[in-house]
Amino acid sequence: MPEGRIIKALSGYYYVLDEEKTWQCRARGVFKKRGISPLVGDWVTYDQGENQEGFIQTVADRKTELVRPPIANVEQAFLVFSLAEPVFNPLLLDRFLVHTEGAGLRSIICLSKVDLLRDGYQAIKETYEQIGYPVLATSKKTGEGIQELKALLRNHISVFSGQSGVGKSSLLNEILPGVNLQIGQVSERLRRGKHTTRHVELIPVEGGFVADTPGFSQLDFFDVDPEQLGYHFIDFKPYIADCKFRGCLHISEPGCAVRAALADGQINQQRYDNYAVFLEEIKEDKRRR
Q: Tell me which residues touch ligand GDP (CB under 6 A).
A: 112-113, 115-116, 139-141, 164-170, 187, 190
Total Cβ atoms within 10 A of residue 46:
25
Asked if 257 and 239 touch (Cβ cutoff 8 Å), the reply is: yes
Choose the contact partner of 243 out of ligand GDP, Zn ion, none; CB within 5 to 8 A by kind.
Answer: Zn ion
Span near Zn ion by CB under 5 A; candidates 165-173, 179-187, 215-223, 248-256: 248-256
Q: Closer CB to Zn ion, residue 7 or residue 256?
A: 256
How many Å apart are CA 189 and CA 69, to the nearest integer? Answer: 13
Q: Closer CB to ligand GDP, residue 188 or residue 223?
A: 188
Q: Closer CB to ligand GDP, residue 52 or residue 196?
A: 196
Q: Closer CB to ligand GDP, residue 86 or residue 208?
A: 86
Q: Closer CB to ligand GDP, residue 16 or residue 171?
A: 171
Beta bridge partners of 5: 17, 43
Cβ contacts of residue 125 below 8 Å, gap of 6+?
A: 111, 135, 137
The only residue of 97, 109, 171, 258 in contact with Zn ion, by rule CB under 5 A: 258
Choose the contact partner of 76 out of ligand GDP, Zn ion, none; CB within 5 to 8 A by kind.
Answer: none
Q: Closer CB to ligand GDP, residue 4 or residue 193?
A: 193
Q: Closer CB to ligand GDP, residue 100 or residue 169?
A: 169
- Helix H or strand E segment including 77: strand 76-82
How many Å apart are CA 14 and CA 39, to the nearest integer? Answer: 8
Instruction: Please give the full DSSP string across 35-59, using - where no structure is assigned.
Output: T----TT-EEEEEE-STTEEEEEEE
Choose the contact partner of 232 out of ligand GDP, Zn ion, none; CB within 5 to 8 A by kind.
Answer: none
- Helix H or strand E segment including 128: helix 121-131
How many Å apart are CA 42 and CA 39, to the nearest integer? Answer: 6
Min separation Cβ 234 and Zn ion, Å: 15
The only residue of 248, 261, 262, 282 in contact with Zn ion, by rule CB under 5 A: 248
Span near Zn ion by CB under 5 A; candidates 110-118, 121-129, 150-158, 250-258: 250-258
Span near Zn ion by CB under 5 A; candidates 25-33, 159-167, 219-227, 251-259: 251-259
Beta bridge partners of 110: 80, 136
Q: How far is CA 43 from the centre of its chain?
A: 19
The only residue of 256, 262, 267, 279 in contact with Zn ion, by rule CB under 5 A: 256
Min separation Cβ 281 and Zn ion, Å: 18
Min separation Cβ 278 and Zn ion, Å: 15
Choose the contact partner of 248 out of Zn ion, ligand GDP, none; CB within 5 to 8 A by kind.
Answer: Zn ion
- Helix H or strand E segment including 14: strand 13-18
How many Å apart are CA 185 and CA 166, to the nearest integer? Answer: 17
The only residue of 189, 232, 250, 271 in contact with Zn ion, by rule CB under 5 A: 250
Burial-class residue 26 by CB neighbours within 10 Å (0-12, 13-18, 19+).
middle
Residues that bind Zn ion (CB under 5 A): 243, 248, 250, 256, 258
